[in-house]
Copies of this chain bind each other. A is one copy, B any other.
Amino acid sequence: MVRPDSRSRILAAATPMFARRGLNGVSVRSLASAAKVNLSMISYHFGGKEGLYAEILKKQFEGFRYIDDIAKRDLPPMEKCEMYLRGTIRRYRENPYLLRYYVSELTNPTPCFKTIVRPTVQRVLKVLRATIDKGISRGRLRKTLSPADGTLALAGMINFYFLVAPAARGFVDDHPGRDEELVNHFMDILRGGIVA
């Protein structure tokens, strides 16, 4: 096991720090000290703090690629919804920082918002909407369903679940072991609502 080079060490140390405190909440000094590199290394490798942030954000957003699998497949709409729920849960379990970068960019956008964040969000929404559109036209989903609002409801329930988790301690006992249950609960709501 060789010691990772300084570039990798910077990326590894910076990823959780930016996630927790945002671009403006982290100084190059604290980055360098956490990564155990000289502070000039950040400029050397990434051209400055913002360059480092942009590189990390770009890498984080590759976690959204699973949406393309959903787009390609020809499956009934409810199965695609389930794929989306499972893919989203998996994405956040595998990478606990992605949601923070994502939401942080939505509320306090950096220059990366236009180049990386918005195009990705639009892509995800577009795929989900196409699924719903097709489901309606094929008679699988009810024809009074609004494709746009339905998409946002679907994306909202699962994303908000992870977003609010840190403030919901004691409300849900969130852990990977209940993911299957979570998918089933949300799918039940999509299938038949909440009414008896």
Contact = CB atoms under 8 A, between A and B. Distances in A.
Contacts of A104: 104, 107-108
Interface of A: 20-25, 78, 99-100, 103-104, 106-109, 113, 117-118, 121-122, 125-126, 129, 132, 139-146, 148-153, 155-161, 163-164, 166-172, 181-182, 185-186, 188-196
Interface centre among A78, A142, A170, A191, by most B CB within 10 Å? A142
A152 B172 contact: yes
16 contacts: A22-B25, A24-B25, A103-B103, A103-B107, A106-B167, A121-B167, A141-B195, A141-B196, A149-B186, A152-B160, A152-B164, A153-B186, A156-B156, A189-B189, A190-B194, A191-B193
A113 B22 CA distance: 15
